[in-house]
Every structure is written in structure tokens, then in C-alpha cells.
Structure 1
Amino acid sequence: MLDLVPWLLLLAVIALVWWRQMGARALARRAAQKACAEAEVIFIDELAFKRIGLARDDHGSLRLIRRYGFEFYQRGDRRYAGTVEMYGQRVRHVYMGPRPL
């Protein structure tokens, strides 16, 4: 029975990381949709995980940073790229690439 305890703890940690990842993804998706609505462009129903790493925030603290990519279009069929950067569970920045006016 005691042999299972480390495995169960490992499984619990993996589940917690997965749960927080899904929460961060949902926040990033809402931020991308809001930015598209404010820019009067159409959000394409895709949000792709691009990168994870460590970076320093504005206060100098080391944070986990996630970057998600998304696409949008303004008119016609040409797609444009954007990114959402997250510090943990907080949206740091939404960048929408150049597009015609």
C-alpha cells in the first residue's frame, strides 16, 4: 500500500498542473475574443499553445509565462495572427499582428 503513495502524489500533481493549464487557456481565449471584438475583427475559433517558460515580471519576480497563438480576419479570407501572453493565471499582453485598415 505504501508503494502507491508516491504514484498517487505524482498523479495528483499532474492533474493539478493540467487543471491550471486548462484554466489559463480559457482566460487566454476570452482575452483574445475581447481584443478581437474591440478591434472589430472576427476571432477564428482556434487557440494554440505555443510556448512555456520562465520570465521576470514588472516587479522582478520569476514567473511562469505561457504564450498562445490565435488567428482572426477582418474581411475576405485572409487570416492574421495574434498572441496572448499569460503570467500564471493572469493575462499579460494581447498582441494582434499588422492588418489592413
Structure 2
Amino acid sequence: MIDLAPWLIGLAIVALIWWRAMGARTAARRAAQAACEEAEVSFIDELAFKRIGLTRDSRGAWRVMRRYGFEFYRRGDRRYAGTIEMHGQRVARVYMGPRPV
């Protein structure tokens, strides 16, 4: 039984990391949808993982930074790109590229 303990602990750590990543992705998706709604454009139902790294948040604490990309459109004729930057589980930045008014 003791030989199994390190494997179970390792599996629990991997599950926790995965669970936190899915929570960050869900928060990023909600932020993208809200930003598109506010800008009066249509969110395309895709969120693409772009980058992961370490960064400092506004208080100077180290956080896992995840960057997601998404697309949106105004009238359906052309797609435009946007990005969401997450610091841990918190939305740090939403950027929506140039688009027609």
C-alpha cells in the first residue's frame, strides 16, 4: 500500500492542476462572451489556448499566466481576433483587435 501512495499523490496533483486550468478556461470564455456582448459583436464559439507562463499580478505576487485567443464577427462577413489574459483564475486583460464600427 505504501508503494501506491506516491502514485496517488501524483495523480491527485495532476487532477488539481487540470481542474484549475478548466476553471480558468471557463472564466476566460465568460469574459470573452461579455466583451463581445458589450462591443455588440458576435462571439464565435471557440476559445484557443495560446500561452502559459509565470507573471506578477497587480499586487506583485507570482501567478500562472494563461493566454487564450478567440474570434468574433460583426455581420458574419469577416472574423476578427481577440485575446484574454488570465492571472491565475482572474481575468487580467481582454483585448479585441480592430473591427468595423
Distance in 1 between residues matched to 2:57 and 2:76, nearest whole Å: 38
Distance 1:62 1:15 in 2: 22
Take 1:7 and 1:56, find their aligned partners in 2: how far apart are those partners?
A: 32
Which consecutive aligned stretches of 4+ in structure 1 deviate over 3 angstroms post-superposition? Answer: none
The offset of 1:94, in angstroms, is 0.6
User: Which residue identity lines up with residue 100 of structure 2 in the other structure?
Assistant: P
Q: What is the CA-CA distance between 1:63 and the residue it aligns to?
A: 1.3
State the Cα deviation string for residues 19-49 of structure 1 (Å, max 9, x = none).
Answer: 1110110000000000000000000000011
Q: Deviations over 1:74-101 (max 9, x none)?
A: 1132100000010101000110001121
Equivalence for 1:19: 19
SS of the counterpart of 1:98? coil
Give the alignment's TM-score, normalised by structure 1.
0.96
Cα separation, 2, equivalents of 1:24 and 1:60: 20
- In structure 1, runs of 5+ residues without a counterpart are none
Q: CA deviation at 1:18?
A: 0.5
Q: Name the SS of the counterpart of 2:65 in structure 1.
A: strand
State the partner residue of 1:43. 43
For residues 76 and 28 of structure 2, the distance between their equivalents in structure 1, rounded to whole angstroms, comes to 25
Aligned to 1:52: 52
- Pairs within 5 Å for 1:1-101: 1-101=1-101
Letter in 1 for 2:31: A
Q: Which amino acid aligns with 1:16?
A: L
Q: TM-score, normalised by structure 2?
A: 0.96
1: CA distance, partners of 2:82 / 2:41: 12
Other structure's SS at 1:45 match: strand
Paired-residue identity, %: 74
